[in-house]
Homo-oligomer: A and B are copies of this chain.
């Protein structure tokens, strides 16, 4: 049946995102969404933009949004790229900076879309094993390579690298582009944005999906030297001129302007995360130190898959991967305090039954 498919399409194993159930009674702790609503300023900006100007194309250069980003992060607009979610931004990075002949490096346990992008664009890659504590080792990323991708904090572990670690990788790779995927950075890691002016090989990728509670809007960014931003624009403009619709542009600006709301909700989530980690540990779980809006936890006596299925039966979704080294771990998104109460209660019951 695949005769009419391209060779590349025949060989793909697509990324599988966490379930997006149609019914809404479930407690959804499986895709790292924010439990709090987006900023009211974002919603107001979207409603205002839902007008007759939707008949017109959006600004393909996203100038107004890039101006707000420049102001927010202390960069110039030519150091900023905007895409349809950070997944699209990452995909364009793989096309813009990596070549089929040169092996790229990323951790073995990390965001599972990286291998998928590499396959889609025919790139060779080497997966660097995390150490026994799930930390990203630095030395292997200084070996010869055609590019580096590091999620910081890493997913699904939640562990953060220090800024000096990122700097070591940047300095060891002057001829390769180093992409730092900071989807979760607002929950406790230190951003590498402050290094953009100093390292012409650095690309920092962020998103509005997590800390700004706008997963439903699809907005991601890259921050880098203008030379790398130009490469991203070249690829993007060979693919799709208008990747962000007018509503996403307006909503993103609104969200970025509400810095107080970002800080308040991120602080609440971090507080809930830390108290939930304590409760899980009290139940016997091993919990990795998280700088993200999720916890990665394993129980010595009860299989993660058993807990996954038991939670699902109780109407609670969490994420689990059938992969080496992490198949006894659950990734649990931080919800509201009430949702985490329900989770802890359900886990306590399941542990008792097992």
Contact = CB atoms under 8 A, between A and B. Distances in A.
A54 B213 contact: yes
Contacts of A231: 2, 4-6, 9
Given A119-B238, A237-B15, A56 B20 contact: yes
9 contacts: A5-B96, A7-B99, A46-B54, A55-B215, A56-B216, A84-B243, A120-B239, A216-B247, A247-B248
A216 B53 contact: yes
A293 to B, nearest CB: 12
Interface of A: 1-9, 12-17, 20, 22, 28, 31, 33-38, 42-43, 46-47, 50-60, 63, 84-85, 87-88, 91, 95-99, 116-117, 119-120, 175-177, 200-201, 209, 213-218, 227-228, 231, 233-248, 251
Given A6-B97, A17-B241, A34-B55, 20 more contacts: A4-B97, A5-B97, A5-B234, A6-B95, A6-B96, A9-B235, A14-B236, A28-B56, A37-B55, A46-B46, A46-B50, A55-B213, A58-B215, A85-B240, A87-B241, A120-B238, A216-B246, A217-B245, A218-B242, A218-B243
Contact of A12 (B4, B119, B238, B251): B238
Contacts of A235: 8-9, 12, 120
A338 to B, nearest CB: 16
A3 to B, nearest CB: 7
A241 B242 CA distance: 18
Contacts of A9: 95-97, 231, 234-235
B33 A43 contact: no
A124 to B, nearest CB: 13
Nearest to A55: B213
Given A54-B216, A58-B218, A245-B218, A88 B6 contact: no
B57 A17 contact: yes
A246 B217 contact: yes
Given A50-B47, A50-B50, A96-B6, A84 B87 contact: no
A217 B54 contact: yes
B201 A4 contact: yes
A56 B33 contact: yes
A177 B57 CA distance: 29
Contacts of A248: 245, 247
A3 B239 CA distance: 22
B242 A245 contact: no
Contacts of A47: 47, 50
Contacts of A36: 55
A316 to B, nearest CB: 16
A117 B87 CA distance: 20
Contacts of A236: 14
A22 B231 CA distance: 25
A15 B227 CA distance: 19
Contacts of A7: 99
A344 B217 CA distance: 42
